[in-house]
Amino acid sequence: MDTPPAPNRWRRYSDWDERPLRLDKFAQEDAANGFAAFKSPSDPKSDIQISQGRIASMDGVLVHDFDMIDAFIAEHHLDLEIAPEAMAMTSDKLAQMLVDMHVPRAELVRLARGLTPAKLADVVGRLNALELAFAYSKMRPRKTPGNQAHVTNAKDDPLQLAADAAVAVGLGFDELETTMRVSRNSWSNALACVVGSVVGRWGALFQCSSEEAEELRIGMAGFTSYAETVSVYGTEKSFTDGDDTPWSKAFLVAAYASRGIKARCTSGAGAELLMGFHEAKSLLYLEARCLCLQRGMGVQGTQNGGIDGAPLTATIPGGMREMMAENLLAVWLDLECASGNDARATESEIRVGAKIMPYLIAGSDFICSGFGSILSYDNSFNASLFNAEELEDYLVLQRDFEADGGLTPLPETTALDLRTRAVDALSAVLEELELAHPTPQMKASVIVASGSRETQTFSIGEVTRISEAIESRNLSVIDVIRALAKRGFVPEAQNLLNLVKLRVSGDYLQTSAIVRNEHVISAINDPNDYAGPGTGYRLSEARRDEIIGIRDTLGQSEVLSAQARHKKAESKRIVYLETETAVEGKNSSEVVIGISPAFGLQLFQTTGGLNLSEVLNCLVEGVESGGGKARVVRMYHTADTSFLGLSAAKLSGSGIGIGIQAKGTAVIHSSDRLPHNNLELFSNAPITTLEHYRALGHNAALYAFKQEVEPILVPTQGEALGARFHAQVALIHAIETGLVDPNRAPAEVALKFTGKKAGAHQ
């Protein structure tokens, strides 16, 4: 006889190998090579020395050894009136204050102006993930949370950009960001997105991520309203390698302000590591330097939390917590925070969901600094943490936790209307300005397309010619407004004008500014005032109604009307004739089948989609195939499966009965057993087939004859049947229990199968 091979692997590991998670690769902690999230031996100890009103040293570096970043932070970030007081406080004390709801945000913001990067990093590093999220919720500048979308596509197709921008605005995104596959297409992308963004309502701010000088020119032509490409780094060498200095970036930030364009910087863990100039410092310490620099530059906000470095940061132990910590640093420094959740950091959907949760619950100025509102293959920034594919998952998370993630479910018909209007409006502009003439076929294909792989539209070369024409003819947003108005798109023309007028007052240059309901709201007129339960941002009833309004929800009327669709067909297949009160049988070969109150009267199909007439027919056939005799009784005193079965058994001459509910749950019971100690149970009605019911009837007959029985197993693949069916099941069961009359005795039922299949039993 062969001996089985010696085991060399538990195959569970092979199963695990196949999980998407295993596509993620994980880095070992290695501070010397920059792979340390919170702490590295090379991180300095926090310290400040002030002599004769000037900084003599900061975080262990003497003033004459300052690099450019140190010099800029010392000069522009540190407030020497506050530094002695703030630096004298212990990190533990400051950490306590961050999570103490009785310490006002304003007091912590004041103290941050006197804290060095090493001190700031040391404080937030003392908070666990829950404390980081809580402190973030308290410290974020604007009370009302918001969100930002990517609007791009793989063809740089302006028609699709307009349609997708309109949808993103309809979903509630406060900012839209585009970029190009071919950089020369920037002007076309900008024009298309901005036209789409004013369909339906106005107020979504828009940016076109491109080369700095060009981005500023596109902004000056009025197409864009904000910029966030001002990258900042935590080591001097990364900075100069990135072709900038703190002064060049600060100058650029002032230039954006001078053009009335909202600006934020970009930084985040992993950037220095990716560039190879990490100085063996921890990710958090380097980011603390970036953020102090940004506050010193006077930029109103930041986009941080990994950003391009997020996938790398997520490979490091504690990486996800580090990203939360650096977001907290940003808001503690009173910067608007677009909190990452941008580049997709993992292939695991579980890690995606876990990554977003703290932000969804805590809220953020922009929960994502780039939610892919388009399909992942159309995302020209590369796939986001969430893309169009997962958008409804996000909407449901909002509903589950009653948390405002900034988005609102969009009814299907509204989405289609927005797309149609946006494509028509952009086409009118392209024609009016003699840039292009989209055909009806192109427009139609874009309106219905889920992504660019499905469109028949401009070639990328045609787009480039459109873009170059916009640029070379010096077209501006004024020309676009006139074109819209001339072609009858007056609401869109007015909306676009309202959007561009924002820059005249500059209200939206203030910290954390967005536009809601045609009003600028920011940290100034909508400040986060969290001070414990009942304070800070709360869902209004109206906002809650929006968030819970996802599509395709079930109510009792939906269930009843779904069942009623089968009523007529069932009435042709079966007649239930109730005769008299059921009595105890004498025939020792009989099996009583006890049906529930609504069975075949209000309910006509099981949750598995089987017609009740056929189910009953199979049970009867099964009993007969085992040599038994089936008798059907309708129960009124109960709708519970166990009691249906036990009551049937007690009426049965053999002492064996079957109980079955209309939803298909069935049991074999014996009159001498306790109610919940049945012989066999089919609890997974949605996957129970007619063959299973036939076998159940057969087994019941075998029990009646006291024979050996092999119980029936309904095979399950581990489906989340509860999630698929429980709402429906509970509603159906409520219909059954609504018909229960505890005082009404079971009734004898004569079945008449009138359909073709049932002829044999008449």
Partner 1 sequence: MKAPTLADYPLSESQDDSICGPRGVPLNKITLAAVTAGDIEIEDLRISRDALLAQARIARATGRETLARNFERGAELINVPQEVIMQTYEMLRPGRVHSKSALVAQATLLRNEYGAALIADFIDRAAKVYQQRGLFDE
Query: Known catalytic residues?
Result: 148, 150, 177, 228, 303, 342, 369
Binding mask 325-364 for partner 1 (x = CB under 8 A): ---------x------------------------------
DSSP state of 662: T
The SS3 assignment for 574 reads strand
Does residue number 295 form part of the binding site for partner 1 (CB under 8 A)?
yes
The count of other CB atoms within 10 Å of the CB of residue 348 is 16
Does residue number 306 form part of the binding site for partner 1 (CB under 8 A)?
no
**In contact, 433 and 466? CB cutoff 8 Å:** no
H-state helical runs in 298-390:
310-313, 319-332, 349-362
What's the first-to-final CA gap in the chain, in angstroms? 57
- No. of H helices and E strands in the chain? 30, 20
The partner residues of 337 in beta bridges, in order of sequence, read 302
Structure tokens at 651: 């009426």
CA distances from 505 to 261, 299, 301, 373 (A): 11, 18, 19, 30
CB of 68 to partner 1, least distance (A): 6
Does residue number 110 form part of the binding site for partner 1 (CB under 8 A)?
yes
**Helix (H) or strand (E) run with residue 93 in it:** helix 91-99
Q: CB-wise, 251 or 401, nearer to partner 1?
A: 251
Q: CB under 8 Å, gap of 24 or more: what pairs does 386-394 form?
A: 386/341, 386/352, 386/356, 387/344, 388/450, 388/451, 390/349, 390/352, 391/171, 392/550, 393/353, 394/356
Does residue number 290 form part of the binding site for partner 1 (CB under 8 A)?
no
CB of 349 to partner 1, least distance (A): 39
How far is 476 from 483, CA to CA, in rounded Å? Answer: 11
> Where in 490-529 is the site for partner 1 (CB under 8 A)?
490, 493-494, 497, 500-507, 509-511, 519-520, 523-525
Strand-pair category, 747-753 with 574-581:
antiparallel
Structure tokens at 562: 């779904």
CB of 550 to partner 1, least distance (A): 34
Which of 162, 199, 253, 610: binder of partner 1 (CB under 8 A)? Answer: 253
Does residue number 247 form part of the binding site for partner 1 (CB under 8 A)?
yes
> Where in 668-697 is the site for partner 1 (CB under 8 A)?
none
Q: Which region among 25-33, 96-104, 293-301, 542-550 touches partner 1 (by CB under 8 A)?
A: 293-301
Radius of gyration of the chain (CA): 34
Does residue number 213 form part of the binding site for partner 1 (CB under 8 A)?
yes
Does residue number 235 form part of the binding site for partner 1 (CB under 8 A)?
no
Structure tokens at 3: 């001996």
Which of 42, 376, 382, 476: binder of partner 1 (CB under 8 A)? Answer: 476
How far is 744 from 762, CA to CA, in rounded Å? Answer: 29
Compute how many residues bind partner 1; rule: CB under 8 A.
71
Q: CB-wise, 500 or 690, nearer to partner 1?
A: 500
Q: CB-wise, 256 or 693, nearer to partner 1?
A: 256
Binding mask 699-738 for partner 1 (x = CB under 8 A): ----------------------------------------
Does residue number 288 form part of the binding site for partner 1 (CB under 8 A)?
no
Which of 481, 547, 666, 702: binder of partner 1 (CB under 8 A)? Answer: 481
Does residue number 271 form part of the binding site for partner 1 (CB under 8 A)?
no
Q: CB-wise, 12 or 64, nearer to partner 1?
A: 64
How far is 108 from 124, CA to CA, in rounded Å? Answer: 13
Give the orientation angle of helix 541-548 with respect to helix 391-401, to 10 degrees. Answer: 140
Q: Is 617 exposed, middle or buried (0-12, 13-18, 19+ CB in 10 A)?
A: buried
CB of 299 to partner 1, least distance (A): 7
Does residue number 201 form part of the binding site for partner 1 (CB under 8 A)?
no
Which of 87, 477, 667, 668: binder of partner 1 (CB under 8 A)? Answer: 477
CB of 194 to partner 1, least distance (A): 13
Residue linked to tokens 């945000």 = 105
CB of 195 to partner 1, least distance (A): 15
Which of 50, 68, 562, 739: binder of partner 1 (CB under 8 A)? Answer: 68
Q: Which region among 232-240, 395-403, 570-578, 590-598 touches partner 1 (by CB under 8 A)?
A: 232-240
Does residue number 647 form part of the binding site for partner 1 (CB under 8 A)?
no
Does residue number 251 form part of the binding site for partner 1 (CB under 8 A)?
yes
Does residue number 108 form part of the binding site for partner 1 (CB under 8 A)?
no
CB of 141 to partner 1, least distance (A): 10
Q: CB-wise, 241 or 389, nearer to partner 1?
A: 241
Q: CB-wise, 23 or 213, nearer to partner 1?
A: 213
Q: Which of 217, 222, 213, 218 is nearest to 230 (CA)?
A: 213
> Where in 524-563 is the site for partner 1 (CB under 8 A)?
524-525
The SS3 assignment for 426 reads helix
Does residue number 142 form part of the binding site for partner 1 (CB under 8 A)?
no
Does residue number 569 form part of the binding site for partner 1 (CB under 8 A)?
no
How far is 389 from 40, CA to CA, in rounded Å? Answer: 39
The string of DSSP codes covering 686-754 is GG--HHHHHHHHHHHHHHHTT--------------HHHHHHHHHHHHHHHHHHT--TTPPPEEEEEEE-
Which of 61, 255, 357, 709: binder of partner 1 (CB under 8 A)? Answer: 255
Which of 94, 151, 166, 297: binder of partner 1 (CB under 8 A)? Answer: 297
Does residue number 482 form part of the binding site for partner 1 (CB under 8 A)?
yes
Q: CB-wise, 382 or 494, nearer to partner 1?
A: 494
Q: Which of 233, 229, 302 is nearest to 274 (CA)?
A: 233
**In contact, 361 and 403? CB cutoff 8 Å:** yes
Residue linked to tokens 């946006």 = 422
Q: CB-wise, 220 or 361, nearer to partner 1?
A: 220
CB of 139 to partner 1, least distance (A): 14
Q: Which residues contact 260 (CB under 8 A, 6 or more apart)?
A: 502, 503, 504, 506, 509
- The residue type of 698 is H
Which of 21, 31, 257, 740: binder of partner 1 (CB under 8 A)? Answer: 257
Does residue number 564 form part of the binding site for partner 1 (CB under 8 A)?
no
Does residue number 224 form part of the binding site for partner 1 (CB under 8 A)?
no
Q: Which region among 3-11, 75-83, 90-98, 641-649 touches partner 1 (by CB under 8 A)?
A: 75-83
Does residue number 31 form part of the binding site for partner 1 (CB under 8 A)?
no
Q: CB-wise, 109 or 560, nearer to partner 1?
A: 109
Residue 529, φ and ψ in degrees, nearest 5: -115, 35
Which of 35, 134, 233, 256: binder of partner 1 (CB under 8 A)? Answer: 256
**In contact, 123 and 284? CB cutoff 8 Å:** no
CB of 425 to partner 1, least distance (A): 15
Q: Which region among 480-488, 633-641, 665-673, 716-724 touches partner 1 (by CB under 8 A)?
A: 480-488
- The residue type of 695 is A
Q: Which region among 176-184, 244-252, 272-280, 394-402 touches partner 1 (by CB under 8 A)?
A: 244-252
Which of 486, 565, 572, 724: binder of partner 1 (CB under 8 A)? Answer: 486
How far is 353 from 400, CA to CA, in rounded Å? Answer: 13
Q: CB-wise, 445 or 494, nearer to partner 1?
A: 494
